[in-house]
C-alpha cells in the first residue's frame, strides 16, 4: 500500500481533477463499481485531491493545454528515479560493452534461447550483404515460445487476455497454446505440408492467428501473414508471389459491430492460385460458407482429429521463419524474408530491455495488428519468448466507445502499453475525458511505434495516459530490421519528445550525406553500418532487388534505410520520415514531418498531414490537411492563425499555401496516414488503391472539398 501510494503521489493534480470529474458524470451504481475496481490508494487519492466538483465549470481542457504547452518547453525527461533503480538495465556501461564486441553481445542474448545444437559461428559475413547469424546452430521458434515455458512449470500462466469487440473474453494460457499448436502442426503435416512450404494466414485478431503462426514454425513451414484489412486481391497477390501451399482463414470477421464475409471472398480467387492445396477455416463469426471437398477443412474439426503430440522440428538458425509483404516503390510488393535464430535473438532481447519487461508481474499490450511486423515481433514472438502475459483486442480503438483501450488497460491491469502516434493523436482529438474514466495507475511504461511522434502527442501521452510517471520509449525500426533499432533504454536514457534517442546496444547507426560521409548536425540519410541478428536475409525469391534496394547506394556493408534523419549535439537521432517525404519550396528542402509537428503544436489542432503540391511559383507548395480539436470548424481567421503559428515555429517559407479542413484523414487500419492518397487528391489524379483504408468514405469527402476549393480558385 505504501509503495502504491508513493507512486500515485506523483500523479499531477490536473490528472486527478480529470478523474474526479469523470466520476462526477457517472451514474451512482457505476461510481460504486469503479471504486471497487480501483486500488485503495488510488481511490483515496481521488477522494482527497483534485478540483472543486461543486463548481464543475473549471476549464479542464484549457488547463490541460496550458500544462502541455509548459511541458513542451522542457527539452529532456530523465528516467523516474524509482523506475531507474529497479530497471533491468540501469548502467550506461552496457552501451560500451556492446560496442566493444557486438558479436559477443548478441551471442550472449542468443544463449537465453533453447538450442538443439549450438552454433559454430556467430556471424558469417563472407557473402555480404547475404549475412548469416549463428551459423550451424539448430533451434525451433515454437519450442522457444511454448515448450520450454510449459516444461519450466508455467503452463498455467496466461499468454493472452483476449477480448472480442462485443465484450467476449478468453484467457489463453501457455499450455492452451502448446496443446492447439501441436494438433494444428500435425494436421498440416497430414496435409503434406513440411519444412520450406509457405502457409498463408489471413485471420482477424483472434488467438487462432497465434496458433497458426506457431504451428507453421513448429514444422518449419514459413508463414505468410496477410493483414486482415487487406482486400482479397491483395491476399491473392501475396499467395501467388510466395507460392503458398495452404491458407488458414476464417468464415467471417467483425469490425465495429458489422460482420464481413472472408471465406466467400477468398473463394473467388482460390481457383487462380494453383499452389494452394489446403484451406483451413476458423469458425469465427458463425457465417455459413461453402466448403470444397478435399481442399477445405474446418479448424476445430481438424484439431479434434489430429494427434495431440508433435515434436518441434530442429531447424537451422538460417531456416526461413516467415515472409511478410510490404509496399515498395513499384507496384510489386516486397517479400521481406526473416529467418529463425537471429530474428528470435533480436526480438527477445529488445522486448525484454526496451520495455523493461518482467514477465512475473507485467501485463504487456501492443495494440498493433498481427498482420504487420509490429504484431509479429511484439504481440507474438517477443512476448512469448519472454514468457509474458499480453492483451489482444479484436476491435478498433473507438468501438464500442472511444474509451475501450483504457477500459481494457484498467480491466487487465496493463503495465506496458505500445501503440502508434497516429492512434495517440486520435485519442487527443477525442478528449482526455475518455482515459479519465478509468484507473490507469498500473501503467509503468509507454511506447510508440510506426512513425516519428510529434512532441505535442508525446507530451499528451506522457501526461494524460502516463500521469508523468511512465517513461515513454519512442521506437524506430522497420519491417526489414525485424526488431527495434533505435530507442531509449527506460532505466538509463533521458528522453526528448520527438526523438527516438540512441541505437539499442549492439546497433551502429549513422546519419550521412549523399556521398556516405557523416552529416554532422545536418539533415541526412539514416544508415546502419553493421549487420544485426534480426535483419532481413533477402527479398523472397528476388535477391537482385534486395541488393539494389538496400545495399547499392553505399555498398554491401552499409544498409540504406530510406529515411531522412539528423543527430543533435547529444548524439540523439531525430528520424524525419521517408526520403521522399521532403518538400522543395523555392529550393528550400523541408520535411513534411517537421511542418506537421509545427501545425499540430497549435492548441486547437488535433491532427495534420502535409504534402507537397505542384506550384507554378515555387515548384512545390505546402498543402496541409488539418483536423481541429473537438467540434471546431475552420475558417479564414483560423487559416491565418495557423500560417502565422508555423511561421513562428519554423519560418515563413514553411507556411502552408493551402489548408484543407477535414474531420478525419485517410488511414490504414493500422493507423498510418496515407499521404500518397492525399497527393493524388491534391494533384487531381485518379486515386490509387483504397482497399486498405479504415474508412474509404473519408476520401470521397476530401475529394469534394478539394474540388470545391479548386473551383473557387478558378472562378
Distances 658 to 436, 605, 624 between C-alpha atoms, Å: 36, 16, 6
- Over residues 439-452, mean pLDDT: 94
* C-alpha gyration radius of the chain: 25
**Which DSSP symbol is given to 650?**
T
Handedness of CA 202, 303, 254, 388 (dihedral sign): negative
Cell matching residue 37: 475496481
Tell me the β-bridge partners of 404: none
Q: How far is C-alpha 211 from the geometric centre of its chain's CA atoms?
A: 21
pLDDT of residue 20: 60
What the block records as the C-alpha cell of 571 is 548524439
Which of 508, 496, 447, 451 is CA-nearest to residue 477? 451
pLDDT of residue 45: 54
DSSP state, residue 511: E
Closest CA to 174 of 378, 390, 377, 352: 390
Cβ atoms of residues 613 and 620 within 8 Å: yes
How confident is the model over 199-209, as a mean pLDDT? 98
Helix (H) or strand (E) holding 591: strand 588-591
105 vs 94: CA distance, rounded Å: 10
Our CA dihedral for 9, 12, 18, 20, rounded to 10 degrees, sits at 30
pLDDT surpassing 80 at residue 672: no
Q: Please, how many CA atoms are within 13 Å of residue 466, restricted to the half-sphere of its CB?
A: 23
Show Cβ contacts of residue 695 under 8 Å, excluding neighbours closer than 6 positions. 664, 666, 667
pLDDT digits (tens, 9 = 90+) for 393-442: 999 999 999 999 999 999 999 999 999 988 998 899 899 999 999 999 99
Residue ranges of domains in the chain, CATH in brackets? 1-53 (no CATH), 59-140+321-505+531-554 (3.40.50.12780), 174-313 (3.40.50.980), 581-714 (3.30.300.30)
Kindly report the number of other CB atoms within 10 A of residue 153's CB atom. Answer: 8
Q: Could you give the C-alpha distances from 356 to 89, 267, 351, in angstroms and in order?
A: 8, 44, 8
pLDDT-derived band of residue 228, with 50, 70 and 90 as boundaries? confident
Average pLDDT over residues 215-243: 92
Percent over 70 (pLDDT), the chain:
87
Taking residues 354-381, report their average pLDDT.
97
Please state, in angstroms and rounded to a whole number, the distance separating the CA atoms of residues 613 and 593.
15
DSSP codes of every residue in 435-446: GGGS--TT--EE
pLDDT greater than 90 at residue 502? yes
Identify the three-state secondary structure at position 396: coil
Picking from 534, 444, 489, the residue whose alpha carbon sits closest to that of residue 353 is 489
Q: Are 344 and 319 in contact (CB under 8 A)?
A: no
Pair 198, 322: CB distance under 8 Å: no
- Please tell me the chain's helix, strand, coil percentages from 3-state DSSP, rounded to the nearest 5: 35, 20, 40
* Mean of all residue pLDDT scores within the chain: 89
Contacts of 155 (CB under 8 A, 6+ apart): 149, 173, 174, 175, 178
Confidence check: pLDDT of 319 > 90 = yes
CB contact at 8 A, 77 and 462: yes
Q: Residue 58: its pLDDT value, please?
A: 31
Distance CA 139, CA 113 (A): 8
Lowest mean pLDDT among 43-52, 335-344, 618-627: 43-52
User: In this structure, what are the phi and psi dihedrals at residue 505, rounded to the nearest 5 degrees?
Assistant: -50, 135
Q: Which residue has the cell 494427434?
A: 307
Q: What separation in angstroms does the CA of 328 have from each of 237, 416, 674?
A: 14, 32, 14
Q: Is the pLDDT of residue 54 over 50?
A: no
3-state secondary structure of 5: helix
Residue 496 binned pLDDT confidence (cut-offs 50, 70, 90) = very high
What is the band of 239 on the pLDDT scale with cuts at 50, 70, 90? Answer: very high
pLDDT of 8 > 50? The answer is no
Residue 115 near residue 138 (C-beta atoms within 8 A): yes
User: pLDDT at position 10, please?
Assistant: 47
Q: How many angstroms separate the first and last alpha carbons of the chain?
A: 70
- CB burial string 441-466: b at 16+ within 10 A, e below: bbbbbbbbbbbbbbbbbbbbbbbbbb
At residue 11 the predicted structure's pLDDT band, cuts being 50, 70 and 90, is: low
Burial grade of 200 (CB within 10 A; 0-12, 13-18, 19 or more): buried
pLDDT at 471 over 50: yes
What are the φ/ψ torsions at residue 452 (nearest 5 degrees)?
-60, 140
pLDDT value for 56:
31
**Which pLDDT does position 440 carry in this prediction?**
96
Asked if residues 173 and 155 have their Cβ atoms less than 8 Å apart, the reply is yes
pLDDT-above-90 percentage for the chain? 71
Residue 381 backbone phi and psi in degrees, to 5: -70, -50
Instruction: Report, as an integer, the average pLDDT of 568-588.
Output: 80
Neighbours of 128 (CB within 10 A): 12
Cα 670–Cα 674–Cα 680 angle in degrees, nearest 5: 160
Q: What mean pLDDT comes out for the span 173-178? A: 98
For residues 376, 382, 387, 390, the Cα torsion angle rounded to the nearest 10 degrees is -60
Residue 331 pLDDT > 60: no
Secondary structure (3-state) at 120: coil
pLDDT digits (tens, 9 = 90+) for 586-604: 656 677 877 888 899 899 9
Nearest alpha carbon to residue 689 among 180, 434, 377, 333: 333
**Residues 241 and 540: beta-carbon distance below 8 Å:** yes
457 vs 685: which has the higher pLDDT: 457
pLDDT digits (tens, 9 = 90+) for 68-109: 999 999 999 999 999 999 999 999 999 999 999 999 999 999
Determine which of 138-147, 301-310, 608-617 has the lowest per-residue pLDDT on average. Answer: 608-617
Amino acid at each position: 500500500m505504501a509503495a502504491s501510494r508513493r507512486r500515485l503521489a506523483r500523479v499531477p493534480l490536473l490528472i486527478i481533477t480529470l478523474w474526479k470529474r469523470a466520476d462526477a458524470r457517472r451514474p451512482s451504481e457505476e461510481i460504486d463499481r469503479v471504486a471497487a475496481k480501483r486500488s485503495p490508494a488510488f481511490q483515496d487519492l481521488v477522494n482527497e485531491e483534485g478540483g472543486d466538483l461543486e463548481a464543475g465549470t473549471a476549464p479542464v481542457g484549457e488547463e490541460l493545454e496550458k500544462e502541455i504547452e509548459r511541458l513542451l518547453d522542457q527539452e529532456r525527461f530523465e528516467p523516474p528515479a524509482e523506475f531507474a533503480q529497479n530497471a533491468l538495465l540501469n548502467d550506461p556501461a552496457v552501451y560500451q560493452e556492446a560496442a566493444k564486441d557486438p558479436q559477443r553481445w548478441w551471442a550472449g542474448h542468443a544463449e537465453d534461447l533453447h538450442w538443439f545444437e549450438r552454433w559454430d559461428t556467430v556471424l558469417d559475413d563472407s557473402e555480404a550483404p547475404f549475412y548469416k547469424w549463428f551459423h550451424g546452430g539448430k533451434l525451433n521458434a515454437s519450442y522457444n515460445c511454448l515448450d520450454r515455458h510449459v516444461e519450466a512449470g508455467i503452463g498455467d500462466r496466461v499468454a493472452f487476455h483476449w477480448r472480442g469487440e462485443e465484450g467476449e473474453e478468453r484467457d489463453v494460457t501457455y499450455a492452451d497454446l502448446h496443446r492447439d499448436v501441436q494438433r494444428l502442426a500435425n494436421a498440416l503435416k497430414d496435409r503434406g505440408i513440411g519444412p520450406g512450404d509457405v502457409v498463408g494466414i489471413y485471420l482477424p485478431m483472434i488467438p487462432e492467428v497465434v496458433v497458426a503462426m506457431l504451428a507453421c514454425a513448429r514444422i518449419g513451414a514459413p508463414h505468410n501473414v496477410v493483414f486482415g484489412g487487406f482486400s482479397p486481391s491483395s491476399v491473392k497477390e501475396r499467395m501467388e508471389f510466395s507460392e503458398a501451399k495452404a491458407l488458414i482463414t476464417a468464415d467471417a470477421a467483425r469490425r465495429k459491430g458489422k460482420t464481413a464475409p472472408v471465406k466467400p471472398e477468398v473463394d473467388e480467387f482460390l481457383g487462380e492460385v494453383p499452389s494452394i492445396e489446403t484451406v483451413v477455416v476458423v469458425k469465427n463469426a458463425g457465417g455459413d460458407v461453402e466448403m470444397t471437398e478435399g481442399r477445405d477443412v474446418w479448424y476445430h474439426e481438424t484439431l479434434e482429429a489430429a494427434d495431440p503430440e508433435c515434436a518441434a522440428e530442429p531447424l537451422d538458425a538460417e531456416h526461413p521463419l516467415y515472409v511478410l509483404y510490404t509496399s515498395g516503390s513499384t507496384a510489386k510488393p516486397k517479400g521481406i524474408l526473416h529467418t529463425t535464430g537471429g530474428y528470435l535473438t533480436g526480438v527477445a532481447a529488445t522486448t525484454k530491455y526496451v520495455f523493461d519487461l518482467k514477465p512475473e508481474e507485467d501485463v504487456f499490450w501492443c495494440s498493433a495488428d498481427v498482420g504487420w511486423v509490429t504484431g509479429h515481433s511484439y504481440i507474438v514472438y517477443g512476448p512469448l519468448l519472454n514468457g509474458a502475459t499480453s492483451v489482444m483486442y479484436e476491435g478498433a480503438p473507438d468501438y464500442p466507445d472511444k474509451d475501450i483501450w483504457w477500459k481494457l488497460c484498467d480491466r487487465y491491469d496493463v503495465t506496458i502499453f505500445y501503440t502508434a502516434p497516429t492512434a495517440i493523436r486520435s485519442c487527443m482529438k477525442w478528449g482526455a475525458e475518455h482515459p479519465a474514466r478509468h484507473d490507469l495507475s498500473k501503467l509503468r511504461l509507454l511506447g510508440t511505434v510506426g512513425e516519428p511522434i510529434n512532441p505535442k502527442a508525446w507530451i499528451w501521452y506522457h501526461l494524460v495516459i502516463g500521469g508523468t510517471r511512465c517513461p515513454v520509449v519512442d521506437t524506430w525500426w522497420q519491417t526489414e530490421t525485424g526488431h527495434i533499432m533505435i530507442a531509449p533504454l527506460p532505466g538509463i536514457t533521458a528522453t526528448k519528445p520527438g526523438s527516438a534517442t540512441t541505437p539499442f546496444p549492439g546497433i551502429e547507426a549513422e546519419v550521412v550525406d549523399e556521398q556516405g560521409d557523416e552529416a554532422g548536425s545536418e539533415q541526412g540519410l539514416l544508415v546502419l553500418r553493421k549487420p544485426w541478428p534480426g535483419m532481413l536475409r533477402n527479398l523472397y525469391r528476388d535477391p537482385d532487388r534486395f541488393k539494389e534496394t538496400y545495399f547499392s547506394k553505399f555498398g554491401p556493408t552499409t544498409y540504406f534505410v530510406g529515411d531522412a534523419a539528423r543527430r543533435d549535439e547529444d548524439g540523439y537521432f531525430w528520424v524525419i520520415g521517408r526520403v521522399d517525404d521532403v518538400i522543395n519550396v523555392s529550393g528550400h528542402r523541408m520535411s513534411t514531418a517537421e511542418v506537421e509537428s509545427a501545425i499540430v503544436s497549435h492548441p486547437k489542432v488535433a491532427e495534420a498531414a502535409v504534402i507537397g503540391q505542384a506550384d507554378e511559383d515555387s515548384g512545390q507548395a505546402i498543402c496541409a490537411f488539418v483536423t481541429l480539436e473537438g467540434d471546431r470548424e475552420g475558417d479564414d481567421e483560423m487559416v491565418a492563425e495557423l500560417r502565422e503559428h508555423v511561421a513562428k515555429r519554423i519560418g515563413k517559407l514553411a507556411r502552408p499555401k493551402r489548408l484543407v479542413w477535414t474531420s478525419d484523414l485517410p488511414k490504414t487500419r493500422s493507423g498510418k496516414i496515407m499521404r500518397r492518397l492525399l497527393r493524388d487528391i491534391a494533384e487531381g489524379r485518379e486515386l490509387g488503391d483504397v482497399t486498405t483504408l479504415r474508412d474509404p468514405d473519408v476520401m470521397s469527402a476530401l475529394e469534394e472539398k478539394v474540388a470545391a476549393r479548386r473551383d473557387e480558385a478558378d472562378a
